[in-house]
Amino acid sequence: MKDTTLYDELLGLKQPWYVAGVRLEVVKQEVEVEVRSKDTTWACPECQGRMHIHEYTERRWRHLDSCQFKTIIVCQVPRVQCSEHGTQMVQVPWAEKQGRFTKLFERFAIAVLQECSTSAGSGLLKISWDEADGIKQRAVKRGLERKEEKVCPRIGIDEKSYGKGNKFVTIVASIQEEATIVEHVGDGKGKDGLRDYWSKFDKIELQAVETISMDMSAAYRQSVIDNVPDAPEKVVFDRFHIMQHVNESLNEVRREEQKELNSMGNTILAGTRIIWLYGEENVPERYNNILGELKGKKLKTARGWALKEAIRGLWKCSTEKEGQVFFEEWYSWAIRSRLEPVKKVARMMKRHLPNIVSYFRHRITNAALEGINNKIQSLIKKAYGYRNTDRFKNDILFHCGGLNLYPEIC
């Protein structure tokens, strides 16, 4: 088989395109594939009107490697003259308009870049960092253009910090049984972070929202109320964020008590922070004896831990009414505990109780969204942080947006 025939097959070329020659540059470690077109009548790329060739322009595209040699496609691309659209370059079948890489190369590059950082991917692909980032940006743009904008019935809202100076983005995700997908990444947090998402839809469309899971942010809740019909009944305050507040209150109790005990020369609480944060069923075996000993002593921290473990039972209730009764009993215990950090959290939960027990109607949490947050955190770590907000948002959609990123192969 001749080299030209081989590359005809590898590139999947069809008439009028054909491989005219193949040159091996051993020093450069490159294979240069010359593609030409046979004489034909061309259509204007814009209006499809029949046009004749006006001139030729040489263009080069990076293709998938051949036997570890960088492969370059070179072609004198016809330009046609259109009375309405002026001079237009004919669209070649192996690459997208104005692209510098073939479609097959971009598909491979996207798969690589989804598995590693831009820096690592650019090294593996033997392209520059800017070229790799450009492939990701085009992929996200392509995916967003293909995506049908529609209201998600079950929504999760959370914020994510990045970079220096406490920068934030707001993540809006559709929570589905099969997958949780990032639908929107907004600048900032609170109302600012959600404004652009709500603006995509009108009030009638937003009636399709069935439930929204979020933390107890007043700004997020007000933004939802301002935009989603019957929002107060649809909001669920996420149990993982609530338990985060409870754990923080317990840790505050431990720190205060440890300071008191240390002043008396008692170091019994030293090095125990992590032990108290475990759920009782998840305590590692190496800590069981330590925790058992600590629970047997009259410690404020032990009382706080018992309250923390007890409130976890709230989400095991079957109905909204049962959940309200359970909480009132726990609240009475917490208020009488004489642990100020715990009492503060208990009062906060009581204020927001309707949107906590609404969980029993909607059965939704941000658990899957927390998984996405962990993935986003790994992106930040791989990139050693982000200074550019747009690039950060683009990377989130590239990795977590569930978009159809790949160029179509004819």
Query: Would you state the structure tokens that stand for residue 352, as one six-digit string?
Result: 């927001």
Phi/psi for 292 (5° steps) reads -60, -40
Q: Name the token pair of 324.
A: 């309200």
Asked if residue 278 has pLDDT above 90, the reply is yes
Question: HSE-up of 14 (CA within 13 Å, CB side)?
Answer: 5
Helix axes 118-125, 129-146, angle to 10 degrees: 110
How confident is the model at residue 65, as a pLDDT? 92
Predicted confidence at residue 238, as pLDDT, reads: 94
- Least Cα distance to 30 among 77, 76, 62, 75 occurs for 62
**pLDDT for 88:** 81
pLDDT(87) > 50: yes
**Is the pLDDT confidence value at 163 over 80?**
no
pLDDT given at position 410: 66
Instruction: Report residue 1's pLDDT band, with 50, 70 and 90 as the boundaries.
Output: very low
Q: What is the pLDDT of residues 351-378, one digit of tens each?
A: 999 999 999 999 999 888 888 989 999 9
- What's phi and psi for 318, nearest 5 deg? -95, -35
Tokens of 31: 């294979």
Distance CA 140, CA 293 (A): 55
Which range is least confidently modeled, 64-68, 155-159, 352-356?
A: 64-68
- Cα 40 to Cα 37: distance, rounded to the nearest angstrom: 8
Question: pLDDT tens across 219-274, in order?
Answer: 999 999 999 999 999 999 999 999 999 999 999 999 999 999 999 999 999 999 99
In the three-class reduction of DSSP (H, G, I as helix; E, B as strand; rest coil), residue 384 is classed as coil
pLDDT at 2: 66
* pLDDT above 90 for 35: yes
The pTM for the full model equals 0.86
The pLDDT score that the predictor gives to residue 78 is 86
Residues of the chain above pLDDT 90, percent:
74
Do residues 156 and 175 lie in contact, with contact meaning Cβ atoms separated by under 8 Å? Answer: yes
- Residue 213 near residue 236 (C-beta atoms within 8 A): yes
Mean pLDDT of the 147-157 span? 93
> What's the CA angle centered on 247, arms 244 and 253, to 5 degrees?
145
SS3 (DSSP) at 108: helix
Residue 166 confidence (pLDDT) above 80: no
**Minimal CA–CA distance to 34: which of 9, 54, 58, 69?**
58
3-class state of residue 95 by DSSP: coil
**Which residues are within 8 A (CB) of 227 and not within 5 positions of it... i.e. 6 or more apart?**
194, 198, 203, 206
Q: For position 387, what pLDDT does the model report?
A: 84
From residue 266, give the alpha-carbon distance in Å to each of 75, 178, 258.
80, 52, 8
Percent of the chain at pLDDT > 70 equals: 99
More confident position, 142 or 14:
142
For residue 72, what are the contacts with CB-CB under 8 A and spacing of at least 6? 30, 31, 32, 33, 60, 61, 62, 63
